[in-house]
């Protein structure tokens, strides 16, 4: 763990903002941000002050590891005080919205303008070199519009734009890390319908962009230049030979394909594998990987036309793949979402193998190979009780985070865990990636099937999923619902009714005006009844449109 990571962990454990810590240290907030991003290191006098503020020894600050065990388990919502940035535009998975409605080409241009300027000057720690930004996109019709707008913004601010073209989110993450880019941009709305789109930002480590930088982008979008130390009413434009260039970087995508192939230790020549590419970003990459590894590959939903991405296809519409695997007597099927950062699998009998099953299968594999530090995996509060029972039986521990793969990754980094994920299929295998990667997860599953000489059905069988009901309620004010005592009292009453045989969760969507109600119990009838009960109370309380 780096010194910067320790500072960030300890600061958050005391619920201090960067501004509050900088005031105590009598330094600028930018200095704290640079320390936590490992751009610079504090002077020894400041390290001594930090040790005093955090109530740890100087040795603990400087040694390789520090004994920190922050709790990620929560009952209902992630505590508001632990969130340093409550974005106006950026949610847990980037800036997302309907194309040309609440996300338009001008937003994309301004994001490119800001990032091109920011990574070309001292505010980001850069010193006198041209910034380099890599950009990928999925197959949505609007992705091309946003791509060109971002490229125009990046280059007009004096940075170089490297274009990966249609590619996956994990490939952008890989290329950012391997090729030393300042940041990465992925244009995708993941599993959403084609008319939605999104802009995901990745830092130089291929991880989701930090909240501080996102807050600066939002200020620029809204015309607030107060923190940027620039003259006039906009960021300076590049001129003459300072204008950025545009570089075709498809070679980076090809290296990512080679990297995935290199992870596999076995030949797949005796396996028949189905791939559902959701008419999305994986439509070329996935086939290339598994064909190169020798599998008998069957591909469906690999003809994107700009408007059919995720349309009755991919990880959120698994039935077509289930039917295909059964009818063609295949060994396994893998379904990706629009940008291929998640995976839902289908076993040889057409049974769904979701993210919880995948965490269990890969977790056991890593544990058996001595690659599971702390003997724990990271899950979210939405993981099924069946996963926890199976992990306990296997002697594997777990921690929980709030919903969102960024929180899973934060927990993994802060506690040195190597595996984490969500039931939806986002699974992060930290030995190989800093983000969820559906194709990588599929490779890990096939490796385990071959090594254990068994089927996916047998590997996933110990995870016996509890019946579950999830109801989404569209509301006017998510926060008001989350803090309504009558609703919270009802949730508490239901929790007592369920006892140890079930659980109820109520949470705010990170990207939509929705409250999600989830109940797990011994019967589907009970689950449906209790979710309806809470939904009706929310509606009766006047929160619905």
Q: Residue 183 half-sphere exposure, CB side, CA atoms within 13 Å?
A: 27
Would you say 513 and 476 are in contact if contact means Cβ atoms under 8 Å apart?
yes
Question: What is the spatial distance between Cα 2 and Cα 40, in angstroms, rounded to a whole number?
Answer: 11
DSSP letter string, 471-524: EEEEBS-HHHHHT-HHHHHHHHHHHHHHGGG-EEEEEE-SSSSEEEEEEE-S-H
Strand bridging mode 503-508 / 427-429: unpaired
State the Cα–Cα distance between residues 188 and 138, nearest whole angstrom: 6
Q: Which residues contact 104 (CB under 8 A, 6 or more apart)?
A: none
Q: For residues 475 and 540, is the Cβ–Cβ distance under 8 A?
A: no
Residue with tokens 């040309």: 100
Strand partners, 519: 469, 504
Q: How far apart are the first and last CA of the chain?
A: 47
Please indicate whether residue 469 is annotated as part of the active site: no
**Cβ neighbours around 224 below 10 Å, total:** 11
Q: Taking Cα atoms as reference points, which of 119, 160, 187 lies closest to residue 249?
A: 160
Three-state secondary-structure class, residue 522: coil
- The angle formed by the CA atoms of residues 137, 138 and 140, to the nearest 5 degrees, is 115
| Interatomic CA distance for residues 295 and 273, integer angstroms | 7
If one counts every other C-beta atom within 10 angstroms of the C-beta of residue 507, the result is 21
Residue 10 Cα distances to 6, 35, 43, 260, 407, angstroms: 6, 13, 18, 35, 16
Q: Which one of the listed residues 173, 190, 424, 521 is annotated catalytic? A: 190
- Catalytically active residues are 190
């Amino acid at each position: 763990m780096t010194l910067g990571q320790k500072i960030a962990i300890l600061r958050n454990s005391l619920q201090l903002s960067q501004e509050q810590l900088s005031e105590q240290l009598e330094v600028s907030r930018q200095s704290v941000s640079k320390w936590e991003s490992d751009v610079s290191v504090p002077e020894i006098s400041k390290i001594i002050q930090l040790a005093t503020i955090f109530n740890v020894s100087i040795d603990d600050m400087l040694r390789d590891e520090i004994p920190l065990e922050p709790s990620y388990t929560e009952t209902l919502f992630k505590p508001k005080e632990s969130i340093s940035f409550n974005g106006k535009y950026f949610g847990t998975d980037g800036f997302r919205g309907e194309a040309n409605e609440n996300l338009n080409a001008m937003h994309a241009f301004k994001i490119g303008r800001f990032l091109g300027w920011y990574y070309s000057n001292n505010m980001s720690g850069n010193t006198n070199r041209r910034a380099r930004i890599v950009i990928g996109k999925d197959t949505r019709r609007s992705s091309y519009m946003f791509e060109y707008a971002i490229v125009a913004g990046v280059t007009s601010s004096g940075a170089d734009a490297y274009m990966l073209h249609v590619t996956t989110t994990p490939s952008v993450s890989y290329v950012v890390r391997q090729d030393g880019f300042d940041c990465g941009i992925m244009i995708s709305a993941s599993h959403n319908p084609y008319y939605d789109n999104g802009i995901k930002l990745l830092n130089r480590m291929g991880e989701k962009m930090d909240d501080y930088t996102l807050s600066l982008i939002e200020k620029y979008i809204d015309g607030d230049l107060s923190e940027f130390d620039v003259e006039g009413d906009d960021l300076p434009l590049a001129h003459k030979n300072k204008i950025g260039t545009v570089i075709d970087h498809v070679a980076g995508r090809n290296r990512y394909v080679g990297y995935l192939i290199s992870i596999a230790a076995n030949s797949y020549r005796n396996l028949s594998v189905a791939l559902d590419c959701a008419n999305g970003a994986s439509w070329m990459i996935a086939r290339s990987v598994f064909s190169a590894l020798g599998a008998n590959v069957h591909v469906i939903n690999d003809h994107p036309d700009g408007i059919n991405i995720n349309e009755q296809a991919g990880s959120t519409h698994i039935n077509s793949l289930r039917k295909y695997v059964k009818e063609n007597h295949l060994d396994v099927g893998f379904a990706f979402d629009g940008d291929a950062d998640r995976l839902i699998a289908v076993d040889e009998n057409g049974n769904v193998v979701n993210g919880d099953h995948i965490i269990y299968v890969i977790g056991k594999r890593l544990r058996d190979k001595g690659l599971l530090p702390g003997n724990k995996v990271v899950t979210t509060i939405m993981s099924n009780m069946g996963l926890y029972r199976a992990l306990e039986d296997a002697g594997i521990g777990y921690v929980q985070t709030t919903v969102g793969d960024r929180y899973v990754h934060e927990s993994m980094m802060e506690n040195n865990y190597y595996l984490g994920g969500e039931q939806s299929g986002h699974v992060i295998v930290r030995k190989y990636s800093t983000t969820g990667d559906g194709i990588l997860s599929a490779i890990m599953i096939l490796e385990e099937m071959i090594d254990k000489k068994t089927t996916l059905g047998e590997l996933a069988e110990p995870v016996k999923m509890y019946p579950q009901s999830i109801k989404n309620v569209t509301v006017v004010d998510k926060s008001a619902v989350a803090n309504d005592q009558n609703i919270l009292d009802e949730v508490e009453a239901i929790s007592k009714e369920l006892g140890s045989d079930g659980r109820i969760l109520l949470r705010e969507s990170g990207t939509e005006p929705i409250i999600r109600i989830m109940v797990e119990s011994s019967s589907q009838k009970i689950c449906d009844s209790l979710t309806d009960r809470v939904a009706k109370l929310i509606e009766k309380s006047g929160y619905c449109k």
